[in-house]
Chains A and B, each alone.
Chain A
Amino acid sequence: MGKGDYLGEFELLVMATIVRLGDEAYGMRIRRDIEERTGRTVSIGNVYAALRRLDAKDYVGTRKGAPTAERGGRAKRYYYLEPDGAEALERSRDLFMTVLADLPESLV
């Protein structure tokens, strides 16, 4: 993926949520955060599919947490932005700012 690549909508949501959650950015939190903010149902499978794509583009990195009892003894996987990902997120934000900023308040 070369520079100048823009993110898909869902990927953008996931990346933004990772930034927002900071140290608490793992699958379930990301999913619920997006669900609460957008009001639409998000499946955990979709979140991981997006994370997988972002990981393949080297936009996000991961580290493993400790297993906990309420997870049935399974470990969490935390996500954070890689420099490439941060750059892509910035680029997408700039793009949205540019194209959306001077639209009139109401479009209907």
Chain B
Amino acid sequence: MQSKSPDPTPARQQPPRAAVFLLRLFSPAAEHEELLGDLREEYSEHWLPRGRGVARRWYWGQALRSLRAGLDRPNRRVPGTRKGDGLVGNLLQDVRYGVRSLLNAPMFTGLTVLTLTLAIGVNSAIFSMVSAIFFSEMPLQNTETAVFVWTNSAERGVDRGSSSLPDFLDLRDQIDALEGIVGIGQRPGILSGVEEPTRVQLGLASADMLQVWGLAPHLGRNFAVGEDAPGATRVAMLSHGLFERRFGADPSAVGREVKIDGHPTTIVGVVSPQMEFGDLAANDLWLPMILDPAATPRDVRSLFVSARLAPDSTLEQAQAEVALLGERLAEQYPETNRGWTIEVQDFQSGLADDTFWTVITLLGITVGFVMLIACSNIATMTLARATSRAQELAIRAAIGAGRGRIMRQLVTESLLVSFVSAALGLLVARAALYGLTWIAGENSGVTSFFQMLSIDTGVLVFTLVVALLAPLVFGLVPAIRASRADLASTLKEGGRTSGDVASLQGRRVLVATQVSLAIALMVVAGLMVRALLEVRSMEFDHAPETILTMRIDLPDAGYPELEHVRQFRRDVGERIEAEPGVVRVAWVDTRPVADFGGSTSFEIAGAELRSEEQQPFAFRTAVSPPYFDMMKLRPLMGRLFGAADRTDAAPVALVNAEAVERFWAGGEALGHEIRMGDGEWLEIVGVVANELNPDPSDPTVPRIYLPIAQHTELGGALLVESLNEPLALTASVRGAVLAIDPEQPIADVRTQARIYADANSSISVVASMLGSFAFFALVMAGAGIYGVLSFMVAERTREFGIRMALGASRGSVRTMVMRNSGVLILIGVLVGLVAAFGLGKLLASALPEINAGDPMVYSSVGLLLFSVAALAAWIPARRATRVEPVVALRAD
């Protein structure tokens, strides 16, 4: 031996690494320091006089002989007997050993935990959404008899809309197949008499609604029969939320007197907390809906109507009866009811619409894909690790571990990984839900839905089930393989087991599948993002980011005469115009996109009476003159409104170009007179350009503009265009309003730009969810492909060595490897694109903004994924062929 002359530098005297590794595995961590130190000290003493080989042999002997002793636990009086250990002892031992062994493979453990964490996280987030629909309870008992009643108008595009109060009363009195027909409405109001006055959302309910739904009051009593009659004493119930927020859950709130819209009102109870559901959760107070058919016209349709099937009645009977009533009403009141039909829908299908289900289905598929990719990645990693651990397992088997014992060990390790991942995954899910709620925006319509989202016990159970099932899948397969291993050959070969043909095929399928799944997800996400970008990049004539908007709805108590309202608006407007930076101030009854404007049918003087379907209709907005300048609506013909268009002048109206196109066939509308319902005749004094806005449900529609001075109502909104940051104006606007009326709140303060963004928040939410899934899928798939291919290539190192030794060039070997992978990837890409097209079609059926056939998205995603996959394949191919043939041949 040449190395007889000892090298005194300690750095050269490293003991065999594998033996150190084994010792670390099989001895308690607390003892590592002294134990390894002792061996090291003695090892160098052997090394100095007797040479490296002797020292190493000695070290190995010590390590192997220490294995069993290392597994002894303290307090055991009789060491060495393993059979009587009992399950718990074994379990503890498995866990301890598992932790050690996982910590010893930080790369594997980290990647597995990360993969599972993300997969479980997104899964739980989605499940929270779905469970918010499936498992959260609508506050309605005995749902099997419950139905919803809708009114529809095909011509106006109203599908499952609300009912009017007079229609509701007719329904209640004339339909025999239904009972407990109750209505719910909603309107803003002002609550005073408790701290400062605030704007609140009022829920209006039939007096018997809570009884019919089967909800006992949380405190006090429900509304009593007769409290919904015109002229009854004013009573109200607090929502559970307001009871806690404003009254500190003080039971003495019941019986208190407050003011609602200036009217003294007695609080008789607190509504059951179950009513905090969906849109209903937005209601702060509940009032009995005053059933005065004279108070609301038949064409103001704002009541949500529910009912129960009468005993012995079927849904079909009810449907037939209401359809008949619909026809009767249309005949009886053609002005308001022509073209409207009534429909009964059962509770289950009424809970969420088709669009919603499509999106949920899509998300479900997405989750499935992500989970599949994650699982296949973990399976790959576990398989690879099992192979590299084969020798360790063989040693365990050789020193007496049974097959079941080894399998239990491996499953325990998987379970450890799962539980850690499940815990982390829940954190991820929580963060994801926060993110969703944040993206959805605080003021948008979907918020109420997202507010319901929370991680509940159902999600916890779901996560635990996933966490328990996953390891059985990932852990058992390698466990079975390992326990079948041929001990002698495994020990001899140093742990290399060449993959059999079947498992090789399996891995190839795995690669192709991952590519297809990832590509399908990315295409769908790409389609969404593109639709979103298109909406976002819309160009307006006006500058929505410079316009501050807010609702200022006045209570009827303080403003008995409309002249008071006009005076208030004039005064507030003048004060705000005096603020620095303010360009102009406009009053409207409904803000573009944010507030629901009324669609109304109208009549053109002198025009031939048209068939029902062609009756002209338009969206009606009352505005003050500066509105047109603010929205940059040019007059195409005639004039705009001026200060002179007041109640003492002739009543006038403007129409937009779309209305002229539709109802005057593009001809002359100027000077014509129109009439809505049986209102007064209005002269059209001008035609303005169409309004552009990004509301997907509101493409170019015919519009009628009325001067707000001639059509004053209590409800209104203020628009302020400013040269400076508009939101900074909020305080001075509030000051101006309070200076005029100290009891008057302002509400829903948003810039017009924010309103546009909120209107598209459902697309944003879905797009960002799909986007993050798709990114996750891309990373996972890339990592997975890389993992599988490096594993496959590493196994063939020897073969490559032979090829190169026989004269193959590096390039040709590399080409061979790349060709193999390339075919797999290409198949994956093609299958993925086809699947993506199917998903895209599904998505487009739910969201009309989506263009399922967008070639840009398909080609760029296909190219991107192909490149990522090719890169993932190229790295191992390059590594394999860079090895010297001689080394490769020796590789074991």
Contacts and interface: CB of A to CB of B under 8 A. Distances in A.
A93 interface: no
Contact of A70 (B40, B68, B76): B40
Nearest to A42: B65
Contacts of A41: 61, 65
B41 interface: yes
B10 A70 contact: yes
A26 B34 contact: yes
B35 interface: yes
A100 to B, nearest CB: 24
Interface string B12-54: 0000000000010011100101111111111010000000000
Contacts of A32: 42
B537 interface: no
Given A43-B62, A46-B65, A74 B34 contact: yes
Contacts of B35: 27, 44-45, 48
Given A43-B66, A75-B33, A53 B74 contact: yes
A46 B71 CA distance: 10
A45 B27 contact: yes
Contact of A52 (B62, B67, B72): B72
Interface string A46-88: 1011001101100000000001111110111100000000000
Given A69-B10, A72-B36, A74-B33, A43 B65 contact: yes
B69 A45 contact: yes
Given A27-B38, A48-B35, A43 B69 contact: yes
Contacts of B74: 52-53, 55-56
B252 interface: no
B37 A76 contact: yes
Interface in B374-408: none
Contacts of A95: none
A69 B28 CA distance: 23
Nearest to A75: B33
Q: How large is the interface on A (under 10, 10 to 19, 20 to 34, 35 or more residues)?
A: 20 to 34
B193 interface: no
Nearest to A52: B74
Among A41, A45, A49, the one with the most B-chain Cβ atoms within 10 Å of its Cβ is: A45
Contacts of A71: 37-38, 40-41
B75 interface: yes
Contacts of B79: 49, 53
Given A56-B75, A74-B33, A44 B44 contact: no
B70 interface: yes
A21 interface: no
Given A27-B34, A49-B79, A53-B74, A44 B62 contact: yes
A76 to B, nearest CB: 6
A48 B31 contact: yes
A76 B38 CA distance: 7
Contact of B44 (A55, A70, A77): A70
A62 B23 CA distance: 22
Contact of B34 (A53, A55, A56, A77): A77
A74 B10 CA distance: 13
Contacts of B42: 28, 31-32
Interface in B57-88: 61-62, 65-70, 72, 74-77, 79
Nearest to B65: A43
A71 B43 CA distance: 9
Interface in A1-39: 26-28, 31-32
B37 A75 contact: yes
Contact of B41 (A28, A43, A45): A28
Contacts of B76: 53
B39 A28 contact: yes
Chain A, interface SS category: helix
Contacts of A52: 28, 31, 72, 74
A72 B13 CA distance: 9
A55 B44 CA distance: 29
A26 B41 CA distance: 12
Contacts of A76: 34, 37-38
Contacts of B67: 45
A70 B76 CA distance: 34
A3 B33 CA distance: 33
A80 to B, nearest CB: 15
Nearest to B42: A28
B40 A74 contact: yes
Contacts of B36: 72, 74
A72 B69 contact: no
Contact of B65 (A27, A45, A55, A56): A45
A48 B44 CA distance: 20
Interface string B781-814: 0000000000000000000000000000000000
B8 to A, nearest CB: 10
Residue from the set B27, B34, B69, B74 with the largest chain A CB neighbour count within 10 Å: B34
A43 B31 CA distance: 15
A45 B75 contact: no
Given A44-B66, A49-B72, A70 B41 contact: yes
A45 B68 contact: yes
A55 B38 CA distance: 18
A74 to B, nearest CB: 3
Given A32-B42, A56-B74, A48 B33 contact: no
Contacts of B27: 45, 48
Nearest to B31: A48
Contacts of B33: 74-75, 77
B66 A46 contact: yes
B75 A44 contact: no
Contacts of B69: 43, 45-46, 48-49
A87 B445 CA distance: 81
A88 to B, nearest CB: 13
A97 B26 CA distance: 38
A54 to B, nearest CB: 9
The residue in A48, A55, A67, A72 that gathers the most chain B C-beta atoms within 10 A of its C-beta is A72
Contact of A49 (B41, B70, B77): B70
A43 B27 CA distance: 13
A7 B67 CA distance: 23
A72 B40 contact: yes
Contacts of B77: 53
Nearest to B73: A52
Nearest to B76: A53
B82 to A, nearest CB: 14
Contact of A31 (B23, B38, B68, B75): B38
Contacts of B68: 45
A52 B69 CA distance: 10
A72 B39 CA distance: 10
A74 B28 CA distance: 16
B75 A53 contact: yes
Nearest to B28: A52
A53 B10 CA distance: 33
Contacts of A26: 34, 38
A27 B659 CA distance: 97
Nearest to A30: B38
Contacts of B31: 48, 52
A71 B42 CA distance: 8
A31 B39 CA distance: 10
14 contacts: A28-B41, A31-B42, A44-B62, A48-B27, A48-B69, A49-B79, A52-B74, A53-B74, A53-B75, A56-B74, A70-B10, A71-B38, A75-B33, A76-B38
Given A41-B65, A44-B66, A52-B31, 17 more contacts: A32-B42, A43-B65, A43-B69, A44-B35, A44-B38, A45-B26, A45-B69, A45-B70, A48-B27, A52-B74, A53-B79, A70-B40, A70-B44, A71-B38, A72-B37, A75-B33, A77-B34
Interface of B: 10, 23, 26-28, 31, 33-42, 44, 61-62, 65-70, 72, 74-77, 79
Q: Which 4 A-B pairs have the closest CB atoms?
A: A45-B66, A74-B37, A43-B65, A45-B69
